Amino acid sequence: MLNTMSSSNLQISGLGKRYGDFVALAPTHLDVARGEFLTLLGPSGSGKTTLLSLIAGLAQPDEGRVLIDGADVTYGAPYERDIGMVFQNYALFPHMSIEENIAFPLKMRKVPAAEARRRAHEALDMVRLPHVATRLPRELSGGQQQRIALARCMVYRPAIILMDEPLGALDKKLRDQMQLEIKRIHRELGTTIVYVTHDQEEAMTMSDRICLMNGGAIEQLGTPADLYFRPRTLFVADFLGESNLLQGEVAAVDGDTLTVKLAHQGVTGQALSNGAPIKVGQKVTVMLRPQNLRVSTSGAGLSGKLLDVMVTGSLTKLYLDSGVADAAPIVVAYPTQRQAEQYAIGQPLTVSWQAADAVAIAE
């Protein structure tokens, strides 16, 4: 978990990178606390890998600075920075035993052989693979190889661990298991981790904070709950999880609570401001998460005919046609239950919500 007892472990100050006229990373400011698990999340081309490469020293910035524990390492070589890296392809030496692979960084730092061996076995214990020390990488599964890559990174105790889509090559079940392993190891070590992924669920599950990037810039920085429940932009609302986005106009403002007349059917509903100043008469988009909608066969709210029902496992999703031209179906989600009420395709239904479960985003 995030350690707030110490100052920033990593500071990014005005860091930027261009390739000709293409801005890969706009000038970026970011502080990462010691012991924090920060995820750089975003679609392809958002700038997350560029930022990680600049932190690692694998690329040189056009402007700005990188500080690790207060030391300016902006133009230092990767080996001069107190960092470790874990990649998607494991990068293990195929001809070396697992113990030799893990001890290799210590050998390069001229740590005595006995001490290197002790620390290698300590790292193997940490990733719960003490029995594979004498095996070769090809004798291990993909998940085991990724844990060995993490052990090799941990063994020399870097100040910061950078992880570049480390679970991308694994199947979903194994990814889920590895997420738990990485979280456990992070809790036990307390090392700062900067993690890159395009997988929203992975970011939401593992992070203390998420830095969501878009077009080479930070779109929003905050806890997973901040981004999920209080997105500051339409991009954040649409990128993270499933959402219903309904356009409307603000009819009244009472502190953070807004009354919005929706373009959908002219229905009036309430929503919370996302923190930006919003005035009466302003155009907004109301974000409603499917699991926060309540469905009934009567009453006030948005009405629509049931288009389809999908059981995805733990969730059941209803898709409603609101009758508005070119509008996406309204999606309602609730936990799957054996004795859940059954609705018929084409049946008229009404959806409603509480103000606390809706967010108005200024256009």
Instruction: CATH number of the domain at 22, please.
Output: 3.40.50.300
CA-to-CA distance for 68 and 185, rounded, in angstroms? 22
Residue 306 three-state SS: strand
Average pLDDT of span 28-44: 96
Domain count, the chain: 2
- For residue 196, is it within any domain? yes
Instruction: Tell me: pLDDT of 323 over 90.
Output: no
Final residue in a domain of this structure, among 234, 259, 287: 234
Answer yes or no: do 22 and 135 share one domain.
Answer: yes
Answer yes or no: do 142 and 271 share one domain.
Answer: no
- For residue 2, is it within any domain? no
Round the average pLDDT of the chain to a whole number and report it.
91
Answer yes or no: do 187 and 156 share one domain.
Answer: yes
Final residue in a domain of this structure, among 206, 234, 262: 234
pLDDT of residue 339: 63
Instruction: Tell me: pLDDT of 123 over 80.
Output: yes
Answer yes or no: do 135 and 278 share one domain.
Answer: no
Instruction: Tell me: pLDDT of 114 over 70.
Output: yes
- For residue 185, is it within any domain? yes
CA-to-CA distance for 40 and 46, rounded, in angstroms? 10
Answer yes or no: do 142 and 98 share one domain.
Answer: yes
Answer yes or no: do 213 and 276 share one domain.
Answer: no
CB 295, CB 209: distance < 8 Å: no
CB 326, CB 338: distance < 8 Å: no
pLDDT of residue 157: 87
Which residue's entry shows tokens 């999908």?
310
Answer yes or no: do 267 and 227 share one domain.
Answer: no
pLDDT of residue 83: 92
Answer yes or no: do 95 and 209 share one domain.
Answer: yes
Instruction: Tell me: pLDDT of 76 over 70.
Output: yes
Answer yes or no: do 205 and 280 share one domain.
Answer: no
Query: What strands lie across the sheet with 37-41, from one edge to the other?
Result: 83-87, 160-164, 192-197, 37-41, 209-214, 217-222
Final residue in a domain of this structure, among 234, 258, 293: 234
Residue % of the chain over a pLDDT of 90: 69
CA-to-CA distance for 42 and 244, rounded, in angstroms? 20
Per the DSSP assignment, residues forming a β-bridge with 222 are: 210
Q: Tell me which DSSP letter residue 320 carries.
A: E
CATH number at residue 343: 2.40.50.100
Domain that holds residue 168: 8-234
pLDDT of residue 325: 72
Answer yes or no: do 251 and 226 share one domain.
Answer: no
- For residue 1, is it within any domain? no
* Nearest CA-CA partner of 352 in 292, 263, 285: 292
Question: Which residues, 6 or more positions from 133, have their beta carbon under 8 angstroms from its beta carbon?
Answer: 97, 98, 99, 120, 121, 124
- For residue 263, is it within any domain? yes
A 10 A CB-CB count for 77 gives 9
Chain centroid offset of residue 106 CA: 32
Instruction: Tell me: pLDDT of 3 over 70.
Output: no
Average pLDDT of span 293-301: 87
Tokens of 201: 């669920």
Number of H helices, E strands in the chain: 8, 20
152-210 residue pLDDT tens: 988 988 999 999 988 887 788 888 888 988 899 899 888 999 999 999 999 999 999 99
pLDDT of residue 340: 62
Any idea of the CA torsion for 154, 157, 162, 167, to the nearest 10 degrees?
10
- For residue 141, is it within any domain? yes
Query: What strands lie across the sheet with 302-311, from one edge to the other?
Result: 294-296, 348-352, 302-311, 315-321, 330-335
Residue % of the chain over a pLDDT of 70: 97
Per-residue pLDDT band at 1 (split at 50, 70, 90): very low
* Element spanning 99, H or E: helix 98-108
- For residue 3, is it within any domain? no
Answer yes or no: do 160 and 264 share one domain.
Answer: no
Answer yes or no: do 68 and 120 share one domain.
Answer: yes
Tokens of 239: 């990128």
